Amino acid sequence: MGIARYWREIPQRYNLIGTKCGSCGRVYFPPKAICPVCRRKSIGKMEEYKLKGTGTVETYTIIYTPPPHFEGEEPYAIALIKMDEGCYLMGEIVDCDFEDIHIGMKVEACFRRIEEDGTRGAIQYGYKFKKAE
């Protein structure tokens, strides 16, 4: 991913900054300019909101055929996490045996390296998930 494209989403990737609708209270990640439930009523009322980073595995898979930027990392686990605030995030599950991963498992976000832009390019970081303490 290009530097500028990665850089402008650093608040989300590093600190899980989403938005909360000032009208209904729903939390969204990534941030939304408008609440899809309240629509017009939410305009101008979407506030920045930092997720706690804790959630539950809703479903998961083990990837054996990776995309180019994950080559050599396979196999690895990808899960859809229901965050405690109610929104969903997609991310890798790390530091965990595949056999232990299950639907309903409690996880917490951690800060990790995602990809490197070649051997001399920028290293791009972001969130992954590990089993909650």
Partner 1 sequence: MRDVAIIGSGVTKFGELWEKSLADLVAEAGISAIMDAGIDGTDIDAMYIGGMSAGRFVGQEHLGALAAEVSGLSELHIPSTRVEAACASGGLALHSGYLAVASGMYDTVIVGGAEKMTDVAGKEATNILASAADREWEAFFGATFPGLYALLARYHMHKYGTTPEQLAAVAVKNHHNGSMNPKAQYRREITIEDVLNSTMVADPLHLLDCSPITDGAASAVITSVEKAKEYTDDIIKIKASAQASDSISLAGRSRFDALPATIEAAKRAYKQAGIEPSDIDFAEVHDCFTIAEIMAIEDLGFFKKGEGGKAAEEGLTALDGEIPINTSGGLKSKGHPVGATGIAQIHELLLQLRGKADKRQIEKAEIGLAHNVGGSGGTAVIHILEAI
Q: Which residues of this protein are in contact with partner 1, per CB under 8 A?
A: 1, 5, 9, 29-30, 58-70, 73, 76, 78-80, 87-92, 103, 114-115, 126, 128
Question: Any idea what the Cα angle at residue 3 is, between residues 47 and 127, rounded to 5°?
Answer: 55
Under a CB-based contact definition with an 8 Å cutoff, are residues 32 and 66 in contact? Answer: no
State the minimum distance, in angstroms, from the CB of residue 92 to partner 1. Answer: 5
State the minimum distance, in angstroms, from the CB of residue 29 to partner 1. Answer: 8
Choose between 98 and 132: whose C-beta lies nearer to partner 1.
Answer: 98
Choose between 53 and 126: whose C-beta lies nearer to partner 1.
Answer: 126
Choose between 8 and 120: whose C-beta lies nearer to partner 1.
Answer: 8
User: CB under 8 Å to 5, separation ≥6 — which residues?
Assistant: none
Half-sphere CA count of 95, side-chain side, radius 13 A: 12
State the minimum distance, in angstroms, from the CB of residue 91 to partner 1. Answer: 5
Choose between 29 and 49: whose C-beta lies nearer to partner 1.
Answer: 29
Under a CB-based contact definition with an 8 Å cutoff, are residues 46 and 32 in contact? Answer: yes
Euclidean distance between the first and the last CA atom of the chain, given in angstroms as a whole number: 32
State the minimum distance, in angstroms, from the CB of residue 121 to partner 1. Answer: 15
Q: Name beta bridge partners: 75.
A: none
